[in-house]
Amino acid sequence: MGSHGYHEILGIDANEPFPVICPTAPCPANYPANFPTGVAGTPVPAGTYYWPMSTKPTPSIANTWTYFSEANSFYHALQLDVNHRFGMGFALRGVYTWSKSLDDGDSLNATTSGNEPALASNPFNLRADWGLANFDVRNTAAISGAYELPFGHGKQFLHGANGISNTLASGWTMNSILTLQDGFPFTSQLSYNPSNTGDTRNPVRPFVNPAFRGSVILGTPNQWFNPAAFLAPPNNSGFDGNLGRDTLIGPGLATLDFSLQKNTRINERMNLQFRAEFFNVLNRANFNFPNAITFTPAGVSPTAGLITSTSTFSRQIQFGLKLRW
């Protein structure tokens, strides 16, 4: 299946300075001539957009957060759903989605942005923000099973039980859900804005380091990604970085939940249900997003890629008793 969205809401600073095109290389003149843009280690080329000054179109107005209906999105997915009821009270269902969601902005404000800047990085070139949606998950799967235990009157085991023995042995059901999914994308950012736009609210992305070799994603909670894969443009240089939006993938998720329930019929109208529920049975640590701030004005952030929280709880156990009529 697939879908295409257009004229979607996008947050833009409508009072940013107008960028200009570099006439020669290096541009500006005081910019390091050998500072790479990520293309074969070449310096900033002529024809690149940059902000030469922070003079706003309307100087009497500060930065704005204005909504424009200019965003676009695409979603494509392969979805599978397998559901089968076996004999002897056993049922199994598996669902799987392989998908990709692309857009040029999907966060209305900083509260909902989470893992990416909420404003468009360059109002004059929205295509520079085209990338994975911040809710994109490439692979996600869930397998659930339910099994009515074969104990009690008329069942495979204790089929001749009656009275109290049948009441205790019958009515038991086991349920389990296994959830697996890839991580959400996030954006490496700077804690300052070197683009010279005068807007400090929206972190800027760094440059790609063309000399870097190896894996960008290290995959440890102490440093999920390698900051050496990126370069920070000098402060007040007038440039945004060329790293794409949402190009890094955060930690995935895997959790197994289990429940055991017993239904005991008291009479024709009343039923007593006991439940024992176990969440994250294996007590797996599902990590949250790492710290995306890669550079500060002083250099590489000491907490770049550090993960300090989890996205799910540790193992939780609860019991419940419900009277239904």
Write the pLDDT tens digit of every residue in 181-196: 999 999 999 988 888 7
- Looking at residue 215, its amino acid is S
Query: How would you write 258-317 as a 3-class SS string?
Result: EEEEEEEECCCCCEEEEEEEEECCCCCCCECCCCCEEEECCEECCCCCCCCCECCCCCEE
Whole-angstrom distance, CA of residue 147 vs CA of residue 297:
59
What would the mean pLDDT of 169-186 be, rounded to a whole number?
Answer: 93
- Percent of the chain residues topping a pLDDT of 70: 90
Please tell me the predicted confidence (pLDDT) of residue 290: 95
Q: Taking a C-beta distance cutoff of 8 angstroms, is the pair 50, 234 a contact?
A: no
Please tell me the predicted confidence (pLDDT) of residue 32: 57
Whole-angstrom distance, CA of residue 53 vs CA of residue 82:
59
**How many CB atoms lie under 10 A from the CB of residue 2?**
10
Per-residue model confidence as pLDDT tens digits over 219-251: 999 999 999 999 887 777 777 788 899 999 999
Res 29 pLDDT > 80 = no
- With 0-12 CB in 10 A as exposed, 13-18 as middle and 19+ as buried, what is 104? buried
Closest CA to 134 of 109, 157, 158: 109
Give the phi and the psi of residue 5 in degrees, each rounded to 5: -115, 145
Lowest average pLDDT, out of 18-22, 92-96, 211-215, 253-257, goes to 18-22
Give the DSSP per-residue string, 4-30.
Answer: EEEEEEEEE-TTPPPPEE-SSSSSSTT
Res 173 pLDDT > 80 = yes
Please tell me the predicted confidence (pLDDT) of residue 127: 87
Say what the alpha-carbon torsion angle 218, 220, 224, 225 is, to the nearest 10 degrees. -20
**Mean pLDDT, all residues of the chain:** 86
